[in-house]
Structure 1
Amino acid sequence: MKISKNIGLGDPSTNFQNFIDLKLKLLCCRYWLLDLWDCHDMVFPYWRIYWNKNEGGELMHDDKVTPMNPDMLYIIPPFTSFSSRFTKNHIYKTGIHVTGKHLTNDIDEINNEEKSLIHFFTHFNLGVPFDNVYPSIIEIKLTDYLKERLTYLTERLKIENKDFKLTFNLKLQAFIKETLTNIGPELWKTINMDDRVLKVIRFVEMNVDKKLSNAEIANVVHMASNSFARLFKEEMNISVHNFIQNRKIAKACDLFEHSNNTIEEVAYNLGFSDRYHFSRVFKSVTGLTPAVYKSGKYT
């Protein structure tokens, strides 16, 4: 009988298995009654899944308008520039304007379907390199399995909107992962990405607090700056410089949401020369100033 070297791990097989390490991090999950949803040129460093129970919602990306169907889920990858609106109450042509309230069991959904948008959303991250896929709006058919999960989530959100139990967390994660399995393989080409690009992505992630030059980045994989810049752009559909800026702003958003650091402290900790340079980059990526994002008054 052949004994596996991995028997200490409880695996009797000698066949090595290579799994993809997906680090799903939940950021929020809400069920709202929206009266106004005029949001323009939003760009944020996390994934979104949207679902509207009734018609009237629209998403815009790259000059394409996508009417939102109650039988569909809508996935928006990180750093996708998009806009949204509720067609029955469309007022603003610029900026981010949202009014509404948390749906509870005390609110009759049916009586509000004509005048409001019944809107479910969840935000999350998947970790490097899966937070760096091609920007787009992806439509996914609401299968019976997803519909069952969605019904559970929305009913629970009407009861509890803050301190979630383990069952809710597990079912939300299952809902997100099942939704993502319906994305076409072209979106997940990062799995087969050139090893040199993956090495640099990990290097950037570990050194996001430093000022990184193209020469220093290319040296990580022993390539000339111009040659690596071309390789990176081909693999990631984004320049090295813009990728680093996006990762720094993603980290800044995380710090604003999970620390008490000031804007000056965040700018310094991420290697920016001063607050003003940081603010310019932050607004160019997200469309918001750091002060507005930090205040949370954009939603």
Structure 2
Amino acid sequence: MTFSKNIALGDPSSNYQNFIDLKLRLLCCRYWLLNLWDCHDMIFPFWRIYWNRNEGGELIHLDDVYKMTPDTLYIIPPFTSFSSRFSKKHMHNDGIHVSGRHLTSDYNEDDYLDSSLIHFFIHFNLGVPFDNVYPGIIEIQVTDYLRDRLEYLTGRLKVENQDFKLTFNLKLQAFIKEVLTNIGPELWKAINIDDRVLKVIRFIEANINKKLTNTEIAAIVNMAPNSFARLFKEEMHITLHNFIQNRKIARSCELFEHTNKTIEDVAFNLGFSDRYHFSRVFKLVTGLTPGIYKSGKYT
């Protein structure tokens, strides 16, 4: 038998194994009764999974309208521009207009099937480079396993929607990962990006609170700034400047979800000159002001 040189790690094999490092970070998970869901031209720096128990919900991306059914999950990658509506109570043709409330165990869902949209959603990030895949709306058939998980997750959310136990967290993460395994390989081309670009992306993530110049970034991989900028655009289909802006706004969304930091604090922590500069960039990227995002008046 051949033993690995690093037997102290407990692995007796000398075969090298290359695993993909997926850094799943949960932002929110909710189960709502929606009376109004008129949201237009939303663009957010995180993944979404949507599921409706009843019909009436619609998603619009480019010229395509997706009529949502209980047999389908809808995955929306980061930076996908899309709109949503509850067709039975569609009132607004622009802006963000949401009206609803958390479902609790006090509600009998069957009583609201005709009047409201029973809506489950998850927001999350996957880390570099998987938060930079191609935009679109992906439809996934609800299997028996996924339906069982949906019943568990929505049932628990009706009882508790703030301080989750370890079991719920593990099952929620397992649900997300199972859903993602149903996405075709064409979506995951980001894992094959140039090593120089990937090195820079990791540097940006580690220094997201700093003001980074093209010259400083290009020097990391010993390239001229203009040459690296072209390489980055070819690999990532976005300019280096816009990518950094997007990553800063993605980080700000995490801070708003998981801390009590003010808009001023977040702007300062991410290297913006002031709150007003940060707010302009945030709205440019997401279509919302930081104040509206913090209020949670969107889904």
- TM-score, scaled relative to structure 1: 0.94
2:159 match: secondary structure: coil
- 1:293 equivalent in structure 2: 293
1:19-68 C-alpha deviation (Å, 9 max, x unpaired): 11111112221111111111112122211100011111011112321111
CA distance in 2, matches of 1:253, 1:225: 29
After TM superposition, the structure 1 stretch with the greater mean CA deviation from structure 2, 246-255 or 104-113, is: 104-113
1:156-190 C-alpha deviation (Å, 9 max, x unpaired): 22222222222211111111000001111111112
Measured after TM superposition, the shift of residue 241 of structure 1 is 1.0
List, as ranges, runs of 4+ consecutive aligned residues in structure 1 with deviation greater than 6 Å.
none
Task: Decide whether the 8 Å contact of 2:51 with 2:74 is kept in 1.
Answer: yes
Task: Decide whether the 8 Å contact of 1:57 with 1:117 is kept in 2.
Answer: yes
1:107 match: secondary structure: coil
CA distance in 2, matches of 1:96, 1:122: 18
- 2:166 equivalent in structure 1: 166
- 1:210 equivalent in structure 2: 210
Measured after TM superposition, the shift of residue 198 of structure 1 is 0.3
Measured after TM superposition, the shift of residue 269 of structure 1 is 2.5
- TM-score, scaled relative to structure 2: 0.94
- 1:154 equivalent in structure 2: 154
Do residues 145 (structure 1) and 140 (structure 2) align?
no
- 1:34 equivalent in structure 2: 34
Q: Are the structure 2 counterparts of residues 92 and 246 from structure 1 closer, same or farther at C-alpha, using a change threshold of 3 Å?
A: same
Q: Are the structure 2 counterparts of residues 267 and 157 from structure 1 closer, same or farther at C-alpha, using a change threshold of 3 Å?
A: closer
1:158 match: secondary structure: helix
Do residues 62 (structure 1) and 66 (structure 2) align?
no
- 1:89 equivalent in structure 2: 89
1:288 match: secondary structure: coil
- 1:244 equivalent in structure 2: 244
Task: Decide whether the 8 Å contact of 1:31 with 1:103 is kept in 2.
Answer: yes
- 1:21 equivalent in structure 2: 21
RMSD of Structure 2 on Structure 1 (CA): 1.7
- 2:126 equivalent in structure 1: 126
Do residues 269 (structure 1) and 269 (structure 2) align?
yes
Task: Structure 1: state its 5+ residue gaps.
Answer: none
CA distance in 2, matches of 1:36, 1:62: 22
CA distance in 1, matches of 2:64, 2:259: 37
1:59-92 C-alpha deviation (Å, 9 max, x unpaired): 1112321111211100111222211100000011
- 1:71 equivalent in structure 2: 71
Measured after TM superposition, the shift of residue 298 of structure 1 is 4.3
Measured after TM superposition, the shift of residue 270 of structure 1 is 1.9
Do residues 258 (structure 1) and 266 (structure 2) align?
no
1:204-261 C-alpha deviation (Å, 9 max, x unpaired): 1112122222232222212223322222122212111110000111122222333333
Task: Structure 2: state its 5+ residue gaps.
Answer: none
Q: How many residues align?
A: 299
Task: Among all aligned residue pairs of Structure 1 and Structure 2, give the percentage whose two residues are the same amino acid.
Answer: 77
Q: Are the structure 2 counterparts of residues 219 and 3 from structure 1 closer, same or farther at C-alpha, using a change threshold of 3 Å?
A: same
